[in-house]
Amino acid sequence: MVCRNTSWTRRLVLAGISTAALALSAPFDLAQAQETIKVGLVAALSGQSAKSGEAITRGLSIAIDEVNAAGGINGKKLELVSRDDESNPGKGLLAARELVQREKVAVLFGGLDTPVSLAIVPFANQAKVPFMGVWAAGTNITRNGAADNYVFRVSAVDAYVGEALVDYALEKKGAKAPGMILINNPWGESNEHALHDALKKRGVEAVGVEKFETNDVDVVPQLTRLKQAGADVLFMVANVAPSSQVVKSLDRMGWDVPVVSHWGPSGGRFTELAGPRGEDVHFIQTYTFTDNMSPKGQQVFAKLKENYGVTSLADVMPATGIANAYDALHLSALALAKAGSTDGTAVRDAFYEIGGYDGLIKTYDKPFSPENHDALNAKDYVFTHFVKGEIIPLN
């Protein structure tokens, strides 16, 4: 055997430590001291959705600190490893592969965009690594048709969002002739199906469906067609920047039609981009920090103030990303503890064994089963709007 560091070995011998003893004991002790359970995050951490990626990171980090302070997972601490997908499906898939194959993460958390999550789903199922969604709402992310499904979610689900948006438009806005203005990608398609299904159940038909692109700066032609068709309310599905273009186009037209939206506007500087009319858009959330928070909400808000310099409720945006990620991490920690290992199949099956958990969004009771991989449903949404940059629940 060739010793590659004779000076280091000589110092050990002089210190009275044999290399044989070191070989037997040091690697084991070192591994025990340094071993952590890694969890991964693939999300948009730059670009127009960076604020949302930041919120997810904060929610995960606060929950990880709590788990580690309580002793970790069977004595092992959690460690977060993050990668920026830049809202690009190809980059998201590459990042997921790196986190699973190189970093050996036990649970992979997914970020903002439905197209990115859909790119990762087949890989997660093939690799048999639990993939936990904390934002993207495309119905077929969890309902992906895989015989062996490893994808879970603590977030909105488009199938449920469609129900909520339609009920709100009909009951609160008196809509009789709704129209749709949707981003032209898989997320928009998912919501188109969900909205049509929800409307059909209630004996209502959409008067028109219009699509637009992320980079469109003028949506007047599409909106004009909807106006001419007689739309009395608009269902909007798009992220921050494109949603703001819809609102500005409505302003240019002088069309004062109610807008009922998915949660896309909550992901960043919506009112700054959209202008004052942005406050008239009503959209769903899974959670908001308010003046009358639960003890759990007060606890998390205190950590946001302590760790990130948050000084007011207006600084917490979007709260949905924080809350979804926070609850998802704690539920994942329960599954890891029940599994007693980081084996993907063992962890996946342990999600089904979770009983109750008093979370930030709600108290969960058996949130997952082999037939249901979504912890939230339509009853867990609240409608909100912006007021002076703060997301406020609507009465």
**pLDDT tens per residue, range 336-348:** 999 999 999 999 9
DSSP single-letter state for residue 208: E
**What is the enclosing helix (H) or strand (E) of 363?**
strand 363-365
Tell whether 1 is covered by a domain. no
Tell whether 391 is covered by a domain. no
Tell whether 5 is covered by a domain. no
Which two three-digit tokens encode residue 216? Answer: 């469109």
Closest CA to 169 of 160, 159, 178: 178
Looking at the 3D structure of the chain, how many domains does it have? 2
Q: Mark whether 170 and 281 lie in a shared domain.
A: yes
Query: Which pLDDT score is estimated for 17?
Result: 36
Q: One-letter amino acid identity for 209?
A: V
Domain boundary among 252, 269, 285: 285
Q: Mark whether 180 and 258 lie in a shared domain.
A: yes
CATH number at residue 89: 3.40.50.2300
Query: Which pLDDT score is estimated for 285?
Result: 94
Tell whether 359 is covered by a domain. yes
Tell whether 335 is covered by a domain. yes
**pLDDT tens per residue, range 155-196:** 999 999 999 999 999 999 999 999 999 999 999 999 999 999
Query: Which pLDDT score is estimated for 334?
Result: 98
Rounded to an integer, what distance in angstroms lies between the CA atom of residue 165 and that of residue 60? Answer: 28
Rama region for 128: left / alpha / beta (φ>0; ψ in -120 to 50; rest): left
Q: Largest Cα–Cα distance in the chain? A: 90
Q: Mark whether 76 and 180 lie in a shared domain.
A: no
Which two three-digit tokens encode residue 339? Answer: 């599994």
Domain boundary among 285, 301, 330: 285
Q: Mark whether 274 and 343 lie in a shared domain.
A: no
Query: Which pLDDT score is estimated for 34?
Result: 47
Closest CA to 224 of 255, 196, 195, 248: 255
Q: Mark whether 341 and 373 lie in a shared domain.
A: yes
Rounded to an integer, what distance in angstroms lies between the CA atom of residue 184 and that of residue 246? Answer: 13
Number of H helices, E strands in the chain: 14, 14
Tell whether 385 is covered by a domain. no
Rounded to an integer, what distance in angstroms lies between the CA atom of residue 144 and that of residue 335? Answer: 21
| Ranges assigned E (strand) in 111-166 | 131-133, 151-153
**pLDDT tens per residue, range 14-58:** 333 333 333 333 333 333 344 899 999 999 999 877 888 999 999
Chain centroid offset of residue 344 CA: 21
Range of the domain at 117: 36-156+292-378
Q: Mark whether 210 and 134 lie in a shared domain.
A: no
Tell whether 146 is covered by a domain. yes
The residues, ordered by sequence, that sit 6+ positions from 55 with a Cβ below 8 Å of its Cβ are: 317, 318, 319, 320, 321, 322, 325
Q: Mark whether 96 and 139 lie in a shared domain.
A: yes
On whether the CB atoms of residues 303 and 322 are closer than 8 A, the answer is no
Q: Mark whether 222 and 144 lie in a shared domain.
A: no
For residues 265-301, b (16+ Cβ closer than 10 Å) or e, as one string?
A: bbbbebbebbeeebbebbbbbbbbbbeeeeebbeebb
Which two three-digit tokens encode residue 297? Answer: 């909400």
Q: Mark whether 152 and 298 lie in a shared domain.
A: yes
Q: Hunting for tokens 């949130």 — which residue is that?
A: 367
Rounded to an integer, what distance in angstroms lies between the CA atom of residue 51 and that of residue 197? Answer: 32
Q: Mark whether 296 and 281 lie in a shared domain.
A: no
Residues lower than pLDDT 70 in the chain = 1-34
Tell whether 389 is covered by a domain. no
Q: Mark whether 77 and 151 lie in a shared domain.
A: yes
Which neighbouring-strand residues pair with 234? 179, 259
Strand, helix or coil for residue 42: strand
Closest CA to 195 of 184, 174, 209: 209
Q: Mark whether 304 and 351 lie in a shared domain.
A: yes
Query: Which pLDDT score is estimated for 269?
Result: 80
